[in-house]
Amino acid sequence: MSSTPSTFADLGLSPGLVTVLAGLGYETPTPIQARAIPELLAGRDVVGLAQTGTGKTAAFALPMLDGIDPDRSETQALIMAPTRELALQVADAVTSYAAQLPGIRVLPVYGGQGYAAQLRGLERGAHVVVGTPGRVIDHLERGSLELSGLDHLVLDEADEMLTMGFAEDVERILRDTPDEKQVALFSATMPPAIRRLAKKYLNDPVDVSIDASIRSTSTVKQRWIGVHHHGKFDALTRLLEVENGDGLLIFVRTKQSTEDLAERLRGRGFDAAALNGDLAQAQRERIVGGLKSGAIDIVVATDVAARGLDVDRITHVINYDIPHDTEAYVHRIGRTGRAGRSGDAIVFVTPRERRMLSALEKVSGRTLEQMSVPSPDEVNERRASRLTESITASLGSPQFHAFRALVEGYAAEQGVEMVDIAAALAVLSADDPNFFLRPEDEVRQAARTERRERDDREPREPRERGESRSFDRSGQDSGEWTRYRLAVGKRHKIGPSAIVGALANEGGLKRSDFGKITIGADHAIVELTADLPAAVFEALSTTRISGKLIDLRLDDGPPPRRERARVGDDDRGGRGGRPSKGPRKPRHTARHD
């Protein structure tokens, strides 16, 4: 086309679709729509490089609907999406686009929902089926989904489907569809695997990619903030107080981290919920619904759990843990600034992660602006502003006059100035003795953070050979360390680094929390700092190394021989201090009384 279409009518869509789009508030085609729709209307296969939030659903759905014959009851279009959430969102969008096209039926099919409703929908005849790969295959094997009359096939967020392990399922479905069909493949990134898939199953496709300068990330203000690891949480809470936002999505790396961080935020008075793959579908829907409605303002999520999440209220995406995969960064920040709206993305960067900034800038096509941790003065200013706003709101309370009379009586009786009473009541309402931050608090916090970072950089000195250790009668180390047994060993092909990595990542431990690690044939003994919080062990209860559950528990075996000799153990492994009676019996596993 010689010029960029300025309206949807210019794209060649039918009048009914143009009318619907006008009613939905669609005025000007987005770049991906302007380039993809004419090609798809012309019958070409399309490979589209487009992130979420660019309007790609309309780009493939509108020309597809233009080709549906409502008089044919068979399935004529199949749209595959990586997650049930995205499948539902796409199905809702297609249904809204088809509002002025009588007779067209759209059906979502996905895991987590019973088969009955889906089977009834397929029996009635669904012109457009939107589904996840696994459930589509289930229906194909049941014979409830027939694709012999398929004319249009769409792979939405193809890179995500391959990342989530659906490559074989996708190819299986593609092989079961007619050779003569139109295929549209849309992906936020184009790794080699996607290119191979397109070359194998698409017929002379036209590439439709959006220049980095006009991708969805162009509507997102991207910033980074330098923090030390141990100062991240305090930096986050200050940021949440100062930033003007609506819904916030905070990304961390592990499922356990979502729970831990959400709980810590709630402890600071923030309304936060965790979103991870362990949640039941009903819980997930409740959290997403709360975020949409405003009942929940902050959601802490993993990359996998946030896939397909489309909530207009999300104004901020905070990368609390920087993603190791730069493409994941694009998907993360694509949760805000959608369809032309503005958004904010902030990345927490520790000193060791500074080298990753250039990679993030390259993949997003934007320069990340550096920002500072909000100062105590900035936080105090916002707290004071919120307090004055609440005072103004309270002036209209039905109880205002009753309390005013009470305060006037108190002032007259006690001889206290009204302004002093107001200040005292403000103190009462603050619910926090440290409502206003003090500069010296920041200095002390910085010192604590620096000390903890230094401890992490400097490994703990190993104990001298033969150093004595005392144990209490429960078998726990009563000194600096506690010994734990893991159900993984040399036969599982693990080393100390695998143990430290798994326990540190899932349990939130640091290097200084680890003592000696001994690896046996089928088990390992690890020394951990005594008095670790219970939450650590809850987090580690489901941890696996090399695919095997570690089954972390207190070690109830005998201590090393040198320790037994020093504390005068009896041959049963007890700690009672009785003298040994004759030669030792053969060594065996013992329990402490």
- Give a yes or no: residue 472 inside a domain: no
In this structure, which amino acid lies at residue 410?
Y
Whether residues 169 and 264 share a domain: the answer is no
Whether residues 271 and 365 share a domain: the answer is yes
- pLDDT for res 4: 56
- pLDDT for res 437: 64
Helix (H) or strand (E) holding 527: strand 524-529
Whether residues 197 and 83 share a domain: the answer is yes
Distance CA 356, CA 367 (A): 13
Whether residues 345 and 425 share a domain: the answer is no
Q: How far is CA 381 from CA 241, 375, 437, 477, in A?
A: 10, 10, 10, 48
Whether residues 226 and 320 share a domain: the answer is yes
Mean pLDDT of the chain: 79
Report residue 31 as tokens.
């770049």
pLDDT level of residue 217 (50, 70, 90 thresholds)? low
pLDDT level of residue 160 (50, 70, 90 thresholds)? confident
Distance CA 16, CA 99 (A): 9
Distance CA 402, CA 464 (A): 72
Residue 484: closest CA among 444, 406, 536:
536
Residue 40: closest CA among 198, 118, 167, 154:
154
The residues with which 477 forms a beta bridge, in sequence order, are 471
- Give a yes or no: residue 128 inside a domain: yes
The domain total for the chain is 4
pLDDT in tens, 373-410: 888 878 777 777 777 777 777 787 888 888 888 888 88
Distance of CA 333 to the CA centre of its chain: 11
Instruction: Return the minimum-mean-pLDDT range out of 246-250, 301-305, 427-431.
Output: 427-431
526 SS3 class: strand
State the distance between the two ends of the chain, measured CA to CA, in whole angstroms: 85
Residues 6+ apart with CB under 8 A from 519: 489, 490, 494, 495, 496, 499
Distance CA 590, CA 586 (A): 12
548 CB-contact burial (10 Å; exposed 0-12 / middle 13-18 / buried 19+): middle
303 SS3 class: coil
Residues 6+ apart with CB under 8 A from 205: 44, 45, 46, 47, 183, 185, 198
Residue 364: closest CA among 398, 319, 401:
319
Distance CA 579, CA 563 (A): 15
Does 411 have pLDDT greater than 80?
Answer: yes
Over residues 102-127, mean pLDDT:
90
- Give a yes or no: residue 585 inside a domain: no
Does 576 have pLDDT greater than 70?
Answer: no
Distance CA 301, CA 12 (A): 41
> Where among 326, 356, 374 does a domain terminate?
374
pLDDT level of residue 38 (50, 70, 90 thresholds)? very high
Whether residues 364 and 381 share a domain: the answer is no
pLDDT in tens, 467-480: 333 333 233 333 47
- Give a yes or no: residue 586 inside a domain: no
Backbone conformation region of residue 57, classed left if phi is above 0, alpha if psi is from -120 to 50, else beta: alpha
DSSP letter for 473, please: T
- Give a yes or no: residue 588 inside a domain: no
pLDDT level of residue 590 (50, 70, 90 thresholds)? very low
117-128 CB burial, b ≥16 within 10 A, e <16: ebeebbeeebbb
Over residues 242-264, mean pLDDT:
90
Distance CA 218, CA 53 (A): 11
The residues with which 51 forms a beta bridge, in sequence order, are none
Does 318 have pLDDT greater than 70?
Answer: yes
Helix (H) or strand (E) holding 187: strand 182-187
Q: Residue holding tokens 């027939």?
A: 146
Does 512 have pLDDT greater than 90?
Answer: no
Q: Residue holding tokens 């694009």?
A: 330
pLDDT in tens, 47-65: 998 766 677 889 999 999 9
427 SS3 class: helix
- Give a yes or no: residue 570 inside a domain: no
Residue 247: closest CA among 286, 199, 300:
300
Whether residues 383 and 366 share a domain: the answer is no
Distance CA 196, CA 193 (A): 5
Q: Is the dihedral of CA 22, 24, 27, 28 positive or negative?
A: negative
Whether residues 202 and 229 share a domain: the answer is no
Q: Is the dihedral of CA 255, 228, 296, 328 positive or negative?
A: negative
Structural contact between residues 545 and 499, judged by C-beta atoms closer than 8 angstroms = yes
- Give a yes or no: residue 172 inside a domain: yes
Whether residues 381 and 527 share a domain: the answer is no
484 SS3 class: strand
- pLDDT for res 419: 83
Whether residues 344 and 356 share a domain: the answer is yes
> Where among 325, 356, 374 does a domain terminate?
374
Q: What is the pTM of this model?
A: 0.48
454 SS3 class: helix
pLDDT level of residue 438 (50, 70, 90 thresholds)? low
Distance CA 240, CA 265 (A): 10
Whether residues 228 and 83 share a domain: the answer is no
Backbone φ and ψ for 359, nearest 5 degrees, come out as -65, -40
Report residue 230 as tokens.
């141990």
The CATH number assigned to the domain holding 307 equals: 3.40.50.300
- Give a yes or no: residue 562 inside a domain: no
Report residue 90 as tokens.
């796409």
Whether residues 365 and 497 share a domain: the answer is no
pLDDT level of residue 333 (50, 70, 90 thresholds)? confident
Does 466 have pLDDT greater than 50?
Answer: no
Distance CA 97, CA 127 (A): 14
- pLDDT for res 431: 57
> Where among 374, 400, 418 does a domain terminate?
374
Instruction: Please give the residue range of the domain that contains residue 489.
Output: 481-555
